[in-house]
Amino acid sequence: MQKRELPLGMQEQLGASSYQGLATFAQRPLLTEETQLDEWQPDIAVVGAPWDDSTTNRPGARFGPRALRALAYGPGTYHLDHKIEIFDELEIVDYGDAICSHGMWEKSAKAIRDRVFAVANRNIIPLVLGGDHSITFPSASAVAHAVGWGEIGMIHFDAHADTALEIEGNYASHGTPMRRLIESGAILGKHFVQVGLRGYWPPAETFQWMQEQEMKWHTMHEIYESGIISVIEKSIGEAHASPKGVYLSIDIDVLDPGFAPGTGTPEPGGLAPVDLLRAIRKIAREVKIVGIDIVEVSPPYDWAELTINNAHRCALEAIAGIAMRRRDLSNKHAD
């Protein structure tokens, strides 16, 4: 039996404009206990993963989860393109943060893994706010453990492949999580699709390893030549090889730094928001999503909350796509 009552004071706080009241994601109700997840039975639960001790360049992503809750302005919830009130279709809550301990990766990774697993194990989709990209290893591992080890796929938006063996001796770097996931067996290489790669890293031997794992990747050059819709349609087809659903990982540096200056490792020549948002919505509408993370938002390097608001809209577009998928399936069953 669902139990979703809020006291009037909490309703007032959550119903205020986005610069007032409680700082929860999209002003959704805040839950802190696993028993509350059982009572509310939400469709999606937001989890913060404020860890950035694995960065190689500019730190600050530990402040990302709070900024995405407090500094993104509330644009409303009615999707103009698809005429859907997204929070009428889906019940979404904010499940607080995994409490991370600075300098202590094992303890922090366990906190992230445990909190995400508490969500995913209840058939709730976790929407994880990073943090640097190293948080994807414990987060996606938790989802794989809950949904099917080795049976989920990954669509990964990023300027960088993040498949290095190690970075300066660090095997838990933000440049290594995708390799750790594949090596662990949580997600098989043949179920991995990467979009937006560009620049000058990693080196050829890393791409040779990726090819041996049967990974698929689509560079910005391919996107320039073929167009974003063509590449996303191809990526969706490749991701459908995974039987239990897809984990969507969005490194905000997939955007050109002109649109996302607040990130740890900016790389010129990236996507524009209009293309990224359409791509995310299309994937979430056409593929069964079992987990999402949005990472590498570093507020100290942001300007005018550009990066924060673009990352916030990535989350809203994923939610909108999931809502539309649910509506599509409901209409299909009604027919």
CATH code at position 33: 3.40.800.10
Range of the domain at 65: 8-334
Contact 36, 123 (CB under 8 A): no
Q: Within a domain: residue 37? A: yes
Mean pLDDT of 295-309: 97
Q: Within a domain: residue 27? A: yes
Angle at 101 between CA 118 and CA 114, to 5 degrees: 10
pLDDT, one tens digit per residue, over 243-299 is 799 999 999 999 999 999 999 999 999 999 999 999 999 999 999 999 999 999 999
Neighbours of 322 (CB within 10 A): 25
Q: Within a domain: residue 175? A: yes
- Determine the Cα–Cα distance for residues 53 and 173; give it in Å rounded to an integer: 8
Q: Within a domain: residue 301? A: yes
Q: Within a domain: residue 118? A: yes
Per-residue pLDDT at 81 exceeds 80: yes
pLDDT at 331 (0 to 100): 83
Per-residue pLDDT at 241 exceeds 70: no
Q: How are beta strands 125-130 and 246-251 bridged, if at all? A: unpaired
Locus of tokens 């969507």: 248
Q: Within a domain: residue 182? A: yes
Q: Within a domain: residue 125? A: yes
pLDDT at 7 (0 to 100): 86
Q: Within a domain: residue 1? A: no
HSE-CB of 164 using CA atoms within 13 angstroms: 19
Total structural domains within the chain: 1
- Backbone Cα Rg of the chain: 18
pLDDT, one tens digit per residue, over 184-209 is 999 999 999 999 999 999 999 999 99
